[in-house]
């Protein structure tokens, strides 16, 4: 599987639009055991991405993603700004100078994003964060690519994996972020960050 710059742009575009469109939904998820700002924070940040859309340096995928990362890190409030910004920054870092991406590149980007998130926030798998959707999704992508699946199928499988994993965060007790304060009371509600990953993966699959 190779992916053109256009494809990267279209995926980032989808992420941008989806985060803006789901402001209320993401916010509602975050008010169950959090503070309700997750949707607002992402939406305001991705509005900035939208506003600057035509101005980002598109020399290569790495540069493009790092520009997006700066907007997110700088302008998204709450935990999500540093977390999501770091993810985009690290993903971009693995593909500096590249214009076309291989399947291995995509997996490397996602692994780098995951490591960045872990480094920034100190979370591990199973602590009820967006990692609990992102990691299983990346695993699936890697497996399907290894199995030689077509890109469109890989993307669909990724969406299914992300959704399944995100829904499964319901059973977890939060150990990180604001939800962690509630301890056992966090069991029974899904993690907003994980659901956001699932929604984004589904939208990407839909618009592939």
Partner 1 sequence: MAFPGPSRRGNQGERELLMLDNTTMWEAAMKKFVNDPKNFVPEMLKGIALANPGTLKYVPEYNLIMRAEGPRNDKVSIVQGSGSGHEPAHVMVVGKGMLDAACPGDVFSAPPMEYVLETTKLLKSDKGVLLLVNNYTGDKMAFEMASELAEAEGITVKTLFINDDVAVQDSLYTIGRRGVAGNFFVMKAVGAAAEAGADLQECARIGEKVNSVTRTMGIALSACTPPAKGEPLFQLGDDEIEIGIGIHGEPGRRREKIRDANAIVDTLLDAVVPDLPYSSGDEVALMINGLGGTPISELYLLYGIAHEKLAAKGISVWRSYVGEYCTSLEMAGASLTLVKVDDEIKQLLTAPAEIAIRVF
Cβ-contact 188, 164 below 8 angstroms: no
Site map 104..143 versus partner 1, x via CB under 8 A: ----------------xx-----x----------------
**Residue 108 CB, nearest distance to partner 1 (Å)?**
24
Residue 192 binds which entry of ligand ADP, partner 1, Mg ion, none, with Cβ cut-offs from 5 to 8 Å by kind?
Answer: ligand ADP
Q: Decide: is 167 part of the binding site for partner 1 (CB under 8 A).
A: no
Q: Toward partner 1, which CB reaches closer, 98 or 176? A: 176
Q: Decide: is 37 part of the binding site for Mg ion (CB under 5 A).
A: yes
**Residue 112 CB, nearest distance to Mg ion (Å)?**
25
Q: Which two tokens stand for residue 135?
A: 């990691």
Among 82, 93, 99, 102, binds partner 1 (CB under 8 A): 82
Phi, then psi, of 202 in degrees rounded to 5 = -65, -40
Cβ-contact 208, 152 below 8 angstroms: yes
Residue 129 binds which entry of Mg ion, ligand ADP, partner 1, none, with Cβ cut-offs from 5 to 8 Å by kind?
Answer: ligand ADP
Q: Toward Mg ion, which CB reaches closer, 30 or 60? A: 30
Q: Quick check: helix, strand or coil at residue 115?
A: helix
Q: Decide: is 178 part of the binding site for partner 1 (CB under 8 A).
A: yes
Q: Toward partner 1, which CB reaches closer, 28 or 139? A: 28
Q: Which two tokens stand for residue 125?
A: 């798998």
Give the span between the Cα atoms of 123 and 19, in whole angstroms: 23
Q: Which two tokens stand for residue 70?
A: 């700066």
Q: Decide: is 80 part of the binding site for partner 1 (CB under 8 A).
A: yes
Q: Which two tokens stand for residue 116?
A: 């960045």
Q: Quick check: helix, strand or coil at residue 63?
A: helix
Q: Calculate the alpha carbon distances from 95 to 54, 60, 108, 136, 142 in Å.
A: 21, 8, 9, 22, 17
Q: Decide: is 170 part of the binding site for partner 1 (CB under 8 A).
A: no
Q: What angle do CA 67, 206, 30 make, to 5 degrees?
A: 65
Among 8, 11, 30, 117, binds Mg ion (CB under 5 A): 30
**Residue 35 CB, nearest distance to Mg ion (Å)?**
4
């Amino acid at each position: 599987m190779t992916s053109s710059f256009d494809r990267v742009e279209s995926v980032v575009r989808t992420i941008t639009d989806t985060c803006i469109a789901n402001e209320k939904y993401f916010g509602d998820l975050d008010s169950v055991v959090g503070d309700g700002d997750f949707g607002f924070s992402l939406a305001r940040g991705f509005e900035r991405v939208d506003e600057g859309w035509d101005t980002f340096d598109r020399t290569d995928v790495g540069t493009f993603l790092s520009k997006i990362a700066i907007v997110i890190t700088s302008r998204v409030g709450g935990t999500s700004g540093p977390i999501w910004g770091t993810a985009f920054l690290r993903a971009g870092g693995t593909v500096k100078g590249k214009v076309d991406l291989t399947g291995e590149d995509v997996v490397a980007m996602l692994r780098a994003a995951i490591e960045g998130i872990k480094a920034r926030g100190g979370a591990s798998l199973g602590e009820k964060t967006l990692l609990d959707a992102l990691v299983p999704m990346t695993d699936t992508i890697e497996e399907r690519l290894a199995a030689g699946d077509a890109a469109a199928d890989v993307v669909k499988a990724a969406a299914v994996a992300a959704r399944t994993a995100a829904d499964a965060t319901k059973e977890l007790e939060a150990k990180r972020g604001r939800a962690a304060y509630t301890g056992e009371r966090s069991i029974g509600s899904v993690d907003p960050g994980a659901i956001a990953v699932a929604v984004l993966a589904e939208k990407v699959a839909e618009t592939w």
